[in-house]
Amino acid sequence: MKRRDFIKTSVVTPFMLGHLLVENDEANTKFRPGDVKSFDLLEVKGSYQQIGYQIGHYFGKNIKNVIQRRSSWHANLLEVLRSKEGKQRSQEYLQLSQKHFPHLLEEIKGIADGAGLHFDAVWALCIKSELLAFDREPTDCSTIFYSNEKNKWLFHNEDGHQAYDGQMFVLKVQPPSGVNYLYFVYPGTITGNGPGFNKEGIFQTTNYISSTKSTIGIPRYILGRAVLEAKSIKEVIDVLTMEPRAYPYHHNIGSMNEGKYLSLETTPEKWEVKEPSGTYYHTNHLLFEKTGKYKFEDQDYKYSSSLSRYQVIKNEVKNLKLEKIKYTDILKILTSHTNAPYSPCRHPHGDVKGITLGTVWFDFNRSTMRMFKGNPCQSLPNFLYVDYNMDMI
């Protein structure tokens, strides 16, 4: 099957504040159920396979709920995966992942086993963008960075399909490397797509870039997961720019210890990193000189959802009185419903399925990530948040 036919086939075919604590010493896990302010939290320690297994064990219901809510989409995803070309591509993605990050495949296998699912069901979710390159997803995220002589702040709306509403969770992991990390997680996909940070102060949030083509390379979720245990910004950049890469991506990365934030855009062929100052924002399209002319970027997606939110943020930032700015002033921008349903604060509307699942605020001075639960238009005024700092990891 030619690549063009393959694409057509894919389109057409059908925490810390929990009141209860459950401990499992044998498995080295602690589970803290969420409440109105917090998401469920799983603390887990062990081998990569054991870590994955416990994720699948505790959140298998969440994974199955997401798959059930998107049953036709997931069935189509598996059909593409098991097609002649899909099998070939999947095998190449597996081989590259095994070559560079074999421990992460062990983690994915563990997730599937713990959830009682076939490996393909979870692996397909981990390479969904690469398999369905032309079938864009509503995974829109909006990011704002602000710095002055006193403060450095990073704000991020984590948006996804409404199927994930009520299913997201937080992981606190002690991996074999000894670099503990805490991240916001999408059920069924390997950790690293959502926001979080590790005990070295290295943080990451991501912005989906829609592409009409994928190539043979390391899948984007594998690269996003691989940096969670990085000890330096250089190590992060080295990992995220490894070749070959399968799909474009945007990473908000940096070190709270060093007070440094970097914006990194990658495509399969090129990459570019910038160190913004003052006020800076990014949504879901490519902005930089080396990457911005990527010929396979999905223009329909860019000019509908991404530019809509980008323009709202741009206009709101112009109205800020920067000499008197408070962190709540920037957070308020992320509550905007201007240009809905393609607004910074996302709500499902008709065929548009995107929703803001949570909002994070990284305060570099305090080495803290504040996580707001659900849509910021509700969580911000109602103080629905939990603070996570490096001492907790």
Map 198-225 to HEC letters.
Answer: ECCCEEEEEECCCECCCCCCECHHHHHH
Confidence of residue 63 (pLDDT cuts 50, 70, 90): very high
Give 168-196 pLDDT, tens digit per residue. Answer: 999 999 999 999 999 999 999 999 999 99
Q: How many Cβ atoms are within 10 Å of 86's Cβ, its own excluded?
A: 21
By C-alpha distance, which of 338, 376, 384 is closest to 355?
376
354-363 vs 368-373, strand pairing mode: antiparallel
Residue 241: how many other CB atoms lie within 10 Å: 16
What pLDDT, on the 0 to 100 scale, is given for residue 223?
98
Q: What is the pLDDT of residues 93-135, one digit of tens each?
A: 999 999 999 999 999 999 999 999 999 999 999 999 999 875 6
Nearest-angstrom CA–CA distance, 130 and 257: 34
Pairing of strands 40-45, 29-32: antiparallel
The two three-digit tokens of residue 96, written as one number: 């590259």
Once rounded to an integer, what is the mean pLDDT over residues 55-74? Answer: 97
What is the average pLDDT across 269-298? 97
Q: Helices 48-69 and 119-126: crossing angle, nearest 10°?
A: 80
Residue 321: its pLDDT value, please? 83
pLDDT, residue 136, reads 53
**What is the value of pTM for the model shown?**
0.92
Q: Given this model, what pLDDT does residue 27 score? A: 55
Average confidence (pLDDT) over 358-378? 98
Question: What's the rounded Cα separation, in Å, for the pair 17 and 37?
Answer: 8
Tell me what pLDDT residue 17 has. 27
Show the CA angle centred on residue 237, arms to residues 231 and 239, nearest 5°.
Answer: 80
Q: What is the pLDDT of residue 55?
A: 98
Residue 324: pLDDT band (50, 70, 90) is confident
Reading the block at residue 45, the tokens are 């320690």
Residue 278 φ/ψ region, left for φ over 0, alpha for ψ in the -120 to 50 degree band, beta for the rest: left
CB-based contacts of 176-185 (< 8 A; 24+ apart in sequence): 176/47, 176/48, 176/103, 177/229, 179/228, 179/229, 179/230, 179/231, 180/393, 181/228, 181/229, 181/393, 182/369, 182/388, 182/392, 182/393, 183/228, 184/39, 184/158, 184/358, 184/360, 184/371, 185/55, 185/59
What letter represents residue 8's amino acid? Answer: K
Angle at 58 between CA 57 and CA 64, to 5 degrees: 75
pLDDT band at 137 (very low <50, low <70, confident <90, very high): low
Cα–Cα distance between 376 and 158 in angstroms, integer?
10
